[in-house]
Structure 1
Amino acid sequence: MMDRLKNYFMTYFEQSFVLLVLISIVLIFYFLPNKLAMLNFFYIPILGAAYYINHRGAMLGSIFCVFTVILFAWLYPSNFFVEQTPMNLGLHIVIWGGFLILTGVIVGTLRQNLLNEISQGVTLKTELKVSKKNLEKVSRDLQEHTEHMEDKIKERTHHLEKSKEAVEEMKERVEDALYSTMDPAVVKLLIEKRLRTEKRNISVLFSDLKSFTTFSEASQPEIVVTQLNRLFAEMETILLEYKAHIDKYMGDGIMAEFGAPTHYDRHALMAVMAAMKMQNWVRSSDFPLKMRIGIATGEAIVGLIGQKRQSYTALGDVVNLASRIEQRCTEGLVTIDETTYEAVNRYVAAKPLIAQQADTSDPGLSKQIEECAIRLNTNENDPELLTEMGLLLMACDHIEDAHAYISRALHIAPDNKRIKIAFAESSMKMEKSQALKIKGKRRLIRLYEVTGMLDPLEDLETLPPHIPETYRRIVDSLVEFPSYAIDSVEAIDGSVGHARVVGLLSYALADMLDLPDKEKKDILLGGYFCDVGKTIVPQHILNRRESLSEKEFEEMTKHSRESARILKKIGYDNEALFDIVAAHHERYNGSGYPSGLSGENIPLGARIVAVADSYDALTSWRPYRSSWNYQAAYSEVRKMTELGAYDPRIVDCLGQLLRL
């Protein structure tokens, strides 16, 4: 308890001093009779203040006491006059003596405390000197050790940096070796330990050069190698553009898989479009040989094969089938199996491959065919003549043409028994001729020769015929369709032809709005390129049948700005074009992306492309829904406009353009 009071008193000495003085004044001037004698009491707090506070505090305390006494003496002077009697004198001496003794005790105690503190200070100073010497010694030792350690650390750091450089150099060499011998997608999955051996539905492509053996025997080795490297450089670029895994080179041949190791839903379409582009390059270049390409689609085992020297490859029946199809392929063409054809026939034109070539070496048959053809020229809808021509062609194994003539005759005379019998016979032969015998297969396989891409502008469900008739030639004269940048993007999500339709329709809408030629051309290019940025969107999001999650939708919204970035990268320098492409998903009511623009703040070209893009998306077939006819699509666009999605003026122009 006493310690706590002492600590409190030492901590709050000034407050305690003032309180003590006030209490003393009350006691002295109100209760004690001999006030003059008690004035000596004030020495005690002043001495304490001088010791514990400072001389300034003691001086101020003294002045305070003096003024207080003067104040009381002035207010109550009679209290200071005391009758001098022997008792009062004795009391005065006793009080004075008591205060004198008390002052001596206090001053002595203070002196002793001061001496103790001085002694402690001297002792502490001595200890500090010793500690300083010890600290200096430790500091010198530590400095020497530090200098020694710094040398060691520098040496070790230098060694580690050398080791790190060696490791990085080795890592780069290994990665370069891997990337030069393996597909980058395979390397990435291999490093991330996500590469699996599994069964997967893929498309396999085989290609080789016709008469390569003869060419290589007749040419110098360096010429052969130079031509092969030239060919493979172009083929690699095309195959990688369509996300193919280049499995291996086999002399003059290539084996590639689509849909592995990275899965793509439209792998068959990607394979066929890549093959067509490969043939186009060979056909348009001065390459000395012609190429054959075969494609088959089906289930295969894919994974790393080998122990010390591993390679990612595909195994299974579909691989063998693709190889044999390529061997039967006509040079300069692309041959596909029925599974591939069924996956791509919405986009690709192909004809059945007939098993035998027609034989018209019989002079009699040739003459009869010529005579029948002359008669058909004057009466082309005669079912009997059509049937006769069909039977003659069937006799010389022109099965496909024969079936076409007899089918036409049956359409004209559906109740004619002779024609029905001929149709049944031609159908059976057609069925048999289309099913080619592939070596090693237990069943007959139907093959198809790819003849080209279907023209989306000729689809009457998408556009009324007067629109392409009016604008196709104009658009083609303004700018060549940039298929080099668009085809591979559209192949991934099965939207082949979307850019062509959106570009033409956007130009037509701009023309109806009577915009300047420069703006119309920018809008045409904006329609072509509006979705080129979809390369950064994962294909499972592009082909999602259900609604997108919030995170997936966020990924989808990135493609608008990416489209503008790609255009800059490939050499375009047109800010108006960039603005159109970046803003074509903005909505008139401000609910679009990426910037949430609304109304007239959205570039006019972007508003036009938005309407054309939405319309074509509705009229086009997608993996997740069927296509709409153009009347239903326009009705839906009109409903969305009423909800604030599109510019009403542009949608009105679309209705006028469609003549609705």
Structure 2
Amino acid sequence: MTTAVTNYVLPLKLAFLNFYFLPIVLAGYFLGRRRAVLGAVLCVLMVGIFVVLFPASFAPSGRSLDLYAHIPMWGGFLILAGAVVGRLHEKLADEVAVVRRLNEELQQRHVELQRVNDELRDHGENLESRVRERTEELEDSKRAVEAIKTKVEDTLYATMDSSVVNMIIEGRLRNEKRTMTVLFSDLAGFTPYSEDVPPEVVIRDLNRYLGDMEPVLLAYRGHIDKYMGDGIMCEFGAPLHFETHRLMAVVAALKMQEKLTSLHYPWHMRIGIASGSTITGLIGNKRQTYTAIGDVVNLAARLEKLCPPERVLVDRYTWEDVSRFVDGRKRRDVPVKEVRDTERERQLEALHERLAVAEDDAELLHQIGRVHLALDEPVEAFQYLERGLKSDPKHVQCKVAYAEASLQLQEQGRISIKGKRRRVEAYEITGLRNPLDDRHKIPAELAAELAHVPGLIAIPVDVMLPVEALSARIGHSTVVAALSYAIATVLGLSDRERLDVLHAGFVADIGMEIVPHHLLNRRGAFSSTEFELVKQHPAEGVRLLRSMGYESEPLLAMVRDSHEAWDGSGYPNGLRGEDIPRGARIVAVADTYDALTSWRPTREPWARDAALDEIREGGAVGRYDPEVVAALTKLLG
């Protein structure tokens, strides 16, 4: 209708044809491609009708051929414009729809995300609260478990040695047969005392006594097996093996006697020690204990019963291993089993006391042999009578008794002498030997000059004894200290410097505590790893001395550098020459001399001259300070 009116009214219809593009484009955009094309077709038809009916109104000049060519072209472009714009509109509408849909989805997801965030926030807050509560519960449970664990460990440690507990936990404790040393002790006079005082006082005093003895036994690596009233059973060399278990047991026994005396207890202690092969392990069903069983245990208990108060009695195997470090004497052979004839036992005791003064008295040996025959102990009788005949071959009564003992042995059967023995050799330990009395390493004249020096040492001997017992070097610290003091005197050091050198020599090896015990008496050379471990002991010695309250810097420097070498090849810092403290150079030479001239489980001691030659050679090649070597040579040469 609009097209018809427009074509009818407007005079210049050809010029107005381009106007039709505007509604068609708008129709394509707003109404869509189909309607735009339809509208364009209708417009073209309507214009075509007017062109046919009124050609003059379109082409006044009369050029109708051009008009008929122009109108189709115009119509085609009009239809094309409607189609293109409509298609573009549809595509744009699709894109807009997609964008709108995506926006809606995004909005929905945003809402969902917000909801999830809110839920997560709430869950996080609840989770944090629950985690906090659970953590508190776990911490409470952990504290409860730790408390129970502590109580269990305290209970175990109160009833068992810590090494036993650790080996049980680690599954390393085995039932086995091993060589070890067993110590028994008890108090003479404790039973009458306990009957005369209130029970609470008895328990208090007994606990105080045991509390004083425990540190001594533990310092020498003893395993306290059990307390039997006032008695103690302790093993050395089990459950952890120590090569020097006999020596550690004997030194511990001497220190126990010394401590009991120093604390003025109203009792006297008896100690029996035996060593040999025993069976060790956990015994018991629900209630178990780590202990040792065997003849050695029985023998140690027997020696303790026969030991005089304030004494230490050991068997022959223990004595042979420790005799180079302790003073003692052989006592009479003691019966393995319980004594039945106490009168004859007292008679034997008196005869042996006399024999100790006159060892080759044939009559005394004859009387001892007769007593053993009366006790039905032909093996012991035979040995003493044989000694009597060697001392006096013409002793008639000894010959007769010897024949009687021989007949009794034949009657008892042809079994080994060892199998027939009813007594064992017992030795009484009286104390540790003075290491300065060893004439093999210290000449008599020098020993006399140094006799007062150990009294100048202000550091307790118990600081070094456990380490020395573990490495079988009893007396090493005293000899090194005394020789260092003597060398310092020869070199003209002041009194203060000599005292520092004395104490440095005494504690120079205190750090050996950290060296594993299997390396202390190692046969052969160390591996590089083992030697690195050994090289740490000077620094450890300084740390231990500081922890014990020793803060003298000159003393600590000497201990730290006592293994440095004049040529810089020592340890721990590789110092050389004058950079090494003079006292440390002195201690190094004294330590080497005593190490060479002392017995070790791995070798025999060197002769004094050989040791001096070795040290002089070390001085010549730069190992030791030549001035210090010359001073030692002057003292001992």
Give the TM bin, normalised by the shorter chain.
0.7 to 0.9
Deviation string, structure 1 residues 16-60 (Cα, Å, up to 9, x no partner)? xxxxxxxxxxxxxxxxxxxxxxxxxxxxxxxxxxxxxxxxxxxxx
* 1:657 aligned onto 2:627: no
* Higher gyration radius (CA): 2
Within the candidate set 436, 447, 469, 1:457 is matched to 436
Residue in structure 2 matched with residue 254 of structure 1 by the alignment: 232
Alignment of structure 1 residues 75-154 onto 2, 5 Å? 125-154=103-132
Equivalent of 1:275 in 245, 253, 263: 253
| Whole-angstrom distance in 2 between the partners of 1:138 and 1:391 | 112
Greater mean deviation of Cα atoms: 276-285 or 201-210? 276-285
Aligned pairs for 1:593-608 within 5 A: 593-608=571-586
**What amino acid maps onto 1:643 in structure 2?**
V
Asked if the contact 2:361/2:391 (under 8 Å) is kept, the reply is no
Question: Distance in 1 between the 2:297 and 2:574 partners?
Answer: 50
Change (3 A) 1:122 1:608: farther
Number of positions where the alignment pairs a residue of Structure 1 with one of Structure 2: 499
Instruction: Give the SS at the match of 1:544.
Output: coil
Measure the CA separation in 1 of the matches of 2:106 and 2:274: 92
Q: C-alpha deviations, 1:565-591, integer Å up to 9, x for none?
A: 222222222111111111111111222
Equivalent position of 1:175 in the other structure: 153
Aligned residue in 1 for 2:425: 446
Amino acid at match of 2:274: A
**Helix, strand or coil: the match of 2:451?**
helix
Q: Distance in 1 between matches of 2:126 and 2:350?
A: 101
**In structure 1, C-alpha distance between the alignment counterparts of 2:539 and 2:183, rounded to whole Å:** 34
Matched, 1:551 2:526: no
Tell me if the contact between 1:461 and 1:628 (Cα under 8 Å) persists in the aligned partners.
no
Query: Structure 2 CA distance, aligned partners of 1:309 and 1:360?
Result: 43
- The counterpart of 1:352, out of the listed 321, 325, 330, is 330
CA separation of 1:518 and 1:417: change in aligned 2, threshold 3 A: closer
- 1:134-193 CA-partner distances (Å, limit 9, x unpaired): 211221122222222223222222221211111111111111111111111111212222
1:278-317: per-residue Cα shift (whole Å, max 9, x none)? 1112223321111110000011111111121111111111
Matched, 1:308 2:275: no
The amino acid across from 1:252 in the alignment is D
Residues 360, 138 of structure 1: CA spacing in aligned structure 2 closer, same or farther, 3 A cutoff?
Answer: closer
1:210 maps to 2:188: yes
Aligned position for 1:343:
321
| 2:567 alignment partner AA | N
- Structure 2 residue ranges without an equivalent (≥5): 1-84, 334-344, 371-388, 406-418
Amino acid corresponding to residue 308 of structure 1 in structure 2: K
Paired with 1:418 and 1:130, the residues of 2 have a C-alpha distance of 123
Residue type of the partner of 1:455?
A: N
Whole-Å Cα distance in 1 between the matches of residues 366 and 421 of structure 2?
A: 28
The equivalent of 1:47 in structure 2 is none
List aligned pairs for 1:507-526, cutoff 5 A.
507-526=485-504
Aligned to 1:488: 466
What does residue 226 of structure 1 align with? Answer: 204
Partner letter of residue 485 of structure 1? V
Deviations along 1:610-635, whole A, 9 cap, x unmatched? Answer: 11111110000111111001110011
Aligned residue in 1 for 2:220: 242
SS of match in other structure, 1:323: helix
Deviations 1:194-243 (A, max 9, x none): 11111111000001111322222222222322221121111101100111
Distance in structure 2 (CA, Å) of the matches to 1:545 and 1:360: 44
Q: Deviations over 1:532-556 (max 9, x none)?
A: 1111111101011121111111221
CA distance in 2, matches of 1:506, 1:125: 96
Following TM superposition, by how much is the alpha carbon of 1:116 offset from its aligned partner in structure 2, in angstroms? 11
TM-score w.r.t. the length of structure 2 is 0.73
Cα distance in 2, alignment partners of residues 166 and 457 from structure 1 = 58
Separation in structure 2 between the aligned mates of residue 447 and residue 116 of structure 1, nearest angstrom: 119
CA distance 1:444–1:358, shift in 2 (3 Å): closer
| 1:143 maps to amino acid | R
Q: Deviations over 1:496-544 (max 9, x none)?
A: 1100100000001111110111110000001100111111111101011
Q: Would you say the 8 A contact 1:350–1:451 is kept in 2?
A: yes
Alignment check: 8 A CA contact 1:357 1:398 kept: no
8 Å CA contact retained: 1:352, 1:449: yes
CA–CA separation in structure 2 for the residues paired with 1:217 and 1:464: 55
d(CA) in 2 for partners of 1:204 and 1:130?
Answer: 87
> Partner of 2:541: helix, strand, or coil?
helix
What letter corresponds to residue 460 of structure 2 in structure 1?
P
CA spacing shift, 1:482–1:126, aligned 2, 3 Å:
same
Q: Secondary structure at the match of 1:353?
A: strand
CA distance in 1, matches of 2:213, 2:231: 11
C-alpha deviation, 1:127, in angstroms:
4.4
For 2:365 and 2:131, how far apart are their aligned partners in 1? Answer: 92
Amino acid paired to 1:142: L
Taking structure 1 as reference, are residues 165 and 477 closer, same or farther at Cα in structure 2, changes over 3 Å only? Answer: closer
Which residue is 1:536 aligned to? 514
State whether structure 2 residue 578 is matched by structure 1 residue 578.
no
Q: Secondary structure at the match of 1:354?
A: strand
CA distance in 1, matches of 2:618, 2:535: 19
Give the letter for the 2:424 counterpart: I
Identical aligned pairs, as a percentage? 46
Gaps of 5+ in 1: 1-107, 363-368, 374-385, 400-415, 433-439
Give the partner amino acid of 2:132.
Answer: K
Alpha-carbon deviation of 1:654?
A: 1.1
**C-alpha separation in 2, matches of 1:322 and 1:259:** 15
